[in-house]
Structure formats: C-alpha cells, structure tokens
Amino acid sequence: MTMAEVTVAAVTLMGAASASLQIWACSMAGINGAQQRQLALNRIDGELIILQKHWQLMAQLGPLAPSCRAASEQLLDDLRRTPQASGVDRELTLLPAEEGLLVSLRDHNEPRARRDQLVKPGALHLCEGA
Amino acid sequence: MGLLLSSLSLQATALESQLRFRSQVQARSDQDQLSQAAQRLVSEINLAHPCLLHLPQQNWAQEGTDCIDVKRATWLIQGGDGSPSDVRTLAWQPDTNGKKVMLLLELPKAPGGTGRRGLFEIGLGGDPVRAWSIQEQGLLGGQP
C-alpha cells in the first residue's frame, strides 16, 4: 500500500467518524427533547385530572347558583384562587351567554402540549338553568 | 462502521419519538373536542330533557318519550346544524342501578377513515336525579 493510499484511507475514516459523531449527537439531542415533551404532556394531563376531580367534588355539594351564567362566573373565581402546577400556564375564558367556561392549559416550555377543557355548569348540575 | 450504524439507529429512534409525540398531541385534541361535546350534550339533557338520563339512546327518538319530541331527540343524536355539536351520539347506556351512564361519542369521519370515538362515564346523583360528573374513559378507533 502506497503512502497516498494510506492517507486517503485515513482521511476517509476520519470523515466517516466525524459525520457519525454528529449524527449521534443530534439524535441524542432529539431523544432528550422527546423525553422533555413527554414530561410536558404528563404535566398538563395531571393538572387537568386534578381540576376534573375538583369540579366533581364541587358538584356533590349542590348547585352554585340558579343561573348557569352566574355559576360559570363562580367557577371562574374559584379557578383564579386555585393553585396551578408549576410549568403549566392556565388561560380562563368566560364564554358568552350560558356557554360555560373554557379552561386552556399549556406547558410553559412546550406550547404544543395543551388541553382545552370546556366546563358547562349545567352538565355537572352546578346550576339549574333558571 | 459500528459508530455509523449506532448513530443511524439513534436517529431512527429520535424520529419515531417525534412521530409518537405528534400522534399524542392529536389524540389530546380529539379528546378535548369529544369532551366538549359531552359537556354540551349532558348540559342539554340535565337542564331541558332530564327524562333521557335513564333512557337508552335507542329509545330517545320514539313517540311517547315524556320530555322530548322525536325531531329534537334525533337532532341530539345526530349532531349537525345548531345541535350541541357536530359529534354523533352513538350510545347512551344507563346501568341497571341508575347510578351511571356510559356515553359513546364519535367525531366526524375523516375522508377515507373512521371517526375517532370517545367513551365517557356519566355519574348520576342528587334529588331530583341529575348528571353530576363526566369522566373520560379513553379514545377508541382512529384516524386513517
């Protein structure tokens, strides 16, 4: 084997190793990102389950108000006082008429991890539709 | 060669986890739509048609149902214009002791695919009896 052949072989080997390392590093970053995204989904799912249990307990105490609009407003006030999980952003929208309350949960670092829960007091017997 | 192969394997794993994440995000979006439809339907029944609480869905649109006429019952089942949502009510099945109802809803079908379905357990209680909890039991079926 000539010196030139040895040099070409060495350069080719180095190039392949370098490219492989770069792919390896990118892939590891991707896998770490996937773990973070999964944690974000779990965080907002957990927050939603806590809120659903909270509303379930409220419902067992009886209606909040005769009017469903008034009950939605009370739910809104209640949620503003309820602590929220760290890393989760909560947006509350009181919908027009008696359409209820829209509770949007977003992960602070991964906005694609989101849940949008509609709460209609009438569905949980928190109002009587008067 | 070994380094290259292991790198490509890791790359495949990373791509697979991205696809899985997208699918999980879509599933949550579908679940939210179905859950919103469940809230609208149960609210309508609680407030305007409580006689349906203990009546299986297949009997809703029959003549002689106390608190709802046939046209409105059909409208509640099939979804569409002006109804609580464009989600179809496939099943409303009360249990034998009157404490729970299993509710099955279906999103509009995607072209060439099946509509995703959501199963819910509705808790009943109080006097007079009304629905007072809606629990998601999971998604069934899927996208094309």
Mean pLDDT of B27-39: 94
Strands B117-125 and A101-107: unpaired
Q: Tell me which long-range contacts B53-59 makes (C-beta under 8 A, separation of at least 24).
A: B53/B94, B53/B101, B53/B124, B53/B129, B53/B130, B53/B131, B54/B94, B54/B98, B54/B129, B55/B92, B55/B94, B56/B91, B56/B92, B56/B93, B56/B94, B57/B89, B57/B90, B57/B91, B57/B92, B57/B93
Give the pTM. Answer: 0.85
Q: Is B56 on the interface with A (CB under 8 A)?
A: no
Each residue's pLDDT tens digit, B82-132: 555 689 999 999 999 989 999 999 998 777 667 899 999 999 998 899 999
Token digits for B75?
């409208």
Verify whether the Cβ–Cβ distance A125 to B10 is below 8 Å: no
> What is the least distance, in Å, from the CA of A124 to any CA of chain B?
4
Rounded to a whole number, what is the distance in Å from the CA of B12 to chain A's nearest CA? 8
Q: Which of A13, A43, A120 to mutate to test the interface with B (most CBs of B within 10 A)?
A: A120
Asked if residue B144 has pLDDT above 60, the reply is no
Report residue B121 as tokens: 């357990």
ipTM for the predicted complex comes to: 0.84
Q: Using the structure block, give the residue that is written with the tokens 């957990």.
A: A46
In this complex, which of A20, A34, A117 lies closest to B21 when CB atoms are compared? Answer: A34
The mean pLDDT value for B20-40 works out to 93
Give residue-wise pLDDT tens across range A24-80: 777 777 777 888 899 999 999 999 999 999 998 999 888 999 999 999 999 999 999
